[in-house]
């Protein structure tokens, strides 16, 4: 607790120096996370049945991107004292003192309200309400409630990262269907093994901030077991779009191969439980998990690419 107070005081001292620039505010938006959100939302928008005007499609993705940045900004605002304790996050704009906490809060709220309102007015209010709920889920349910209280934080809280393709889908259709739920399931089940692999080799950082991640609370053997179980589930979820007729055989075959690769890396994590081999296995699985998700959604995007011209309703654009 004393360390947290020291870091908090340092943050407040530096904050008065007004060192922030555009790059610092950009960093508040968690751009790496934003890119993944935008990409999966775009896939949801493209695979949705029906058509959408190019301008409406652009506004949809823009609003989803801004809302993702808003959620990241509000997350950094709320956790800035914890970030100051962790090596991985202590140089972020707020704990380093380049941006004041109240500046980040104001910035995040403006982006959140603006993106939700614009999506409702220019696209549809169902997608707008879903977007508002997603921001609330990530900031309040995950960041404020689940994350500091339970090692299941990433399991339940991971839903917020799985909603974007459903929102993109809703921007076109104005509703939720089985197809969009399948996209949600892939990301929802992918999130725990993805983050637990990361937790295995940065466990001490989370322990410094007293965040109850699974490796610290239940132990590394249980974490490796859970990673293996969830990876099998992810591999099955990955082929569901083909099994339900929403994707072709190219996607299905590739999803099967990628799923087997994911399982292979999970078994390496499960098998290598000590020393440098354990760290290497966890890092390799974390890296492959990113590749797995990107390739799956890229294939879905590619398989639907022939319908993009119709979906964007280019005849109405001319």
**Separation of CA 153 from chain center:** 14
Residue among 48, 37, 57, 52 at smallest CA distance from 246: 48
Q: Write down the pTM of the prediction.
A: 0.89
Tokens 């007729």 locate to: 245
Report DSSP state, residue 20. -
pLDDT at site 16:
44
| CB-based contacts of 61, cutoff 8 Å, min separation 6 | 38, 41, 42, 45, 168
State the chain's mean pLDDT as an integer.
Answer: 90
pLDDT at site 11:
44
**Structure token pair of residue 208:** 């410094």
CB 24 within 8 A of CB 93: yes
pLDDT at site 304:
84
Q: Is 248 left (phi over 0), alpha (psi -120 to 50) or beta?
A: beta
Measure the CA–CA gap between 143 and 161, rounded to whole angstroms.
Answer: 12
Is 1's pLDDT higher than 70? no
pLDDT at site 53:
93
pLDDT tens digit sequence for 36-79: 999 999 999 999 998 899 999 999 999 999 999 999 999 999 99
pLDDT at site 2:
39
pLDDT at site 274:
87
pLDDT at site 318:
41
Q: Is 90 exposed, middle or buried (0-12, 13-18, 19+ CB in 10 A)?
A: middle
Percent of the chain with pLDDT over 90: 81
> How much is the average pLDDT of 255-281?
95
Is 106's pLDDT higher than 60? yes
Mean pLDDT lowest among 3-7, 41-45, 178-182, 209-213:
3-7
pLDDT at site 313:
53
Domains of the chain: 2-317 (1.10.600)
pLDDT at site 6:
39
Task: Give the pLDDT band (50/70/90) at residue 312.
Answer: low
Is 175's pLDDT higher than 60? yes
pLDDT at site 12:
46
Is 8's pLDDT higher than 70? no
Measure the CA–CA gap between 291 and 295, rounded to whole angstroms.
Answer: 6
pLDDT at site 17:
52
**Separation of CA 98 from chain center:** 25
Q: How far apart are the first and last CA of the chain?
A: 62
Is 189's pLDDT higher than 60? yes
pLDDT tens digit sequence for 11-34: 444 444 556 789 999 999 999 999
CB 146 within 8 A of CB 157: yes
pLDDT at site 306:
60
């Amino acid at each position: 607790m004393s360390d947290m107070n020291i870091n908090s005081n340092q943050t407040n001292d530096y904050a008065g120096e007004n060192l922030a620039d555009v790059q610092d505010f950009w960093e508040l938006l968690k751009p790496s996370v934003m890119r993944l959100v935008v990409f999966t939302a775009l896939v949801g928008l493209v695979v949705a049945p029906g058509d959408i005007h190019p301008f409406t499609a652009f506004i949809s993705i823009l609003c989803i991107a801004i809302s993702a940045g808003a959620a990241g900004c509000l997350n950094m605002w709320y956790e800035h004292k914890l970030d100051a304790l962790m090596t991985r996050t202590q140089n972020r704009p707020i704990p380093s003192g380049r941006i004041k906490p109240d500046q980040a809060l104001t910035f995040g709220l403006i982006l959140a309200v603006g993106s939700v309102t614009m999506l409702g007015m220019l696209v549809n209010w169902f997608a707008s309400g879903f977007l508002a709920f997603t921001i609330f889920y990530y900031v309040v349910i995950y960041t404020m409630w689940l994350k500091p209280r339970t090692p299941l934080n990433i399991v339940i809280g991971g839903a917020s990262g799985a909603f974007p393709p459903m929102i993109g889908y809703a921007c076109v259709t104005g509703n939720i269907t089985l197809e969009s739920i399948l996209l949600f399931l892939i990301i929802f089940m992918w999130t725990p093994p993805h983050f637990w692999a990361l937790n295995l080799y940065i466990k001490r950082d989370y322990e410094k901030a007293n965040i109850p991640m699974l490796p610290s609370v239940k132990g590394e053997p249980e974490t490796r077991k859970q990673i293996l179980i969830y990876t099998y589930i992810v591999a099955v979820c990955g082929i569901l779009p083909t099994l339900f007729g929403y994707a072709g055989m190219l996607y299905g075959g590739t999803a099967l191969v990628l799923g087997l690769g994911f399982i292979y890396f999970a078994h390496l994590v499960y098998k290598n439980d000590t020393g440098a081999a354990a760290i290497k296995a966890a890092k390799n699985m974390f890296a492959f998990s990113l590749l797995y998700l990107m390739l799956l959604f890229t294939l879905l995007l590619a398989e639907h690419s022939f319908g993009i011209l119709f979906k964007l309703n280019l005849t109405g654009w001319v």
